[in-house]
Structure 1
């Protein structure tokens, strides 16, 4: 036994980084850790900022994976799409867990800095909007909060102009010979629920062994929406716990608006088909 402190250098660890790339350099930690700028003296404002900034980082990764999954489906590379969709589900699980931290903030603590937010609101999250559009929830009216940022508005319009994740899943079914009904002429508009598509998914679910990759695709999409719904529900619960039924800082009706969003279904035929199986 020795009282000499362990020196990692003796184990081969790099200890000098003058002129070399370190962990902080690679991750740009100086920029990230200097990006929190509370506008009040309230202790809990830092929690609020970190919660939302980390959520936006997870959303960035989710978008990256969803775009890859959508492209993979378009190219009939289902194995790659499954990998990406599984990762998105885990990301949404992380986002769900983050609400538990924010819920440690009480109404009185939030009220100490709420006025500092001005009109800013999570309702204005560009990345959240992009995820909705990419998944298939397409409401062009939701472009308006981003009109003041031409570059972001252009990116969102580009997403609306191309097939969504669910559109590509439907096109895949059509390539496999399933009747999926008519594709809408304007991809930027919301899809109408389609009886033919319900029938197509019913055929897939009726023969899992014979259509295993399509069956797995259906379940990956349901997993995605399942976790996404939980995220929305946790959002509603957290907001009501902290501000009750007050209006949101961004002007929405707050909890009432968020409850309406709980009724939005991304992949309606995949949920409807369960009733007829």
Structure 2
């Protein structure tokens, strides 16, 4: 009986600890940009309440990562490409943030606006969350990787520039010859202007001021052609931006933090080393 009670007390203790280390914040409120707050309130999809969930590390090292889940800009894979990674990052001392961003629904400005607001919020709470405002990165998977790389190449000010970017099998381009069709249609429509299409071809938007990158993919990805990652990596190298590219032989698309990906141990080890030694 004593052992059972002790185990129950431990569970309660860990549950309380988990709740104390988690913070949920709405992105837009009455103190935020009025136009964005109004747009957030009037959205009709399941992300009409854009928010961040913050998982604070017990022993923070000052680094923070904001994760943008994938879903083709049509839904959000918030499990294996979101909340499931929190404990692993916290174990490294990293404050981990999952971004619930609004889907574009014909307005390509919306996801980027939410990503910029997320990084503003993290930096505004830096002291409270034991985060170094100069060590805040953006991360994304698939279409979330497009959003992350969009923030990395389209940030509007030093306030919203991420310090680094981590991309899982990302959509990078809107070039119809090798983009992901669903992501392209959902973000910029079926028949965008050449100007709008090129604007969101992020391989064309890299500059020497683009933040350093860690990119990973599977060589047999049939959903998002590998040229997305390779061309982006090449653009980073050409602009002398530090970049690390990791291509695994098999695995397809969308593995995230799932145990079914046979190279999960490898990417975790390589990313952990990069975060430790490069930042």
TM over 0.5: no
Higher RCO, 1 vs 2 (CA within 8 Å, ≥6 residues apart):
1
Q: Which has the higher strand share?
A: 2
| TM-score calculated relative to the size of structure 2 | 0.26
Q: Which has the higher helix share?
A: 1
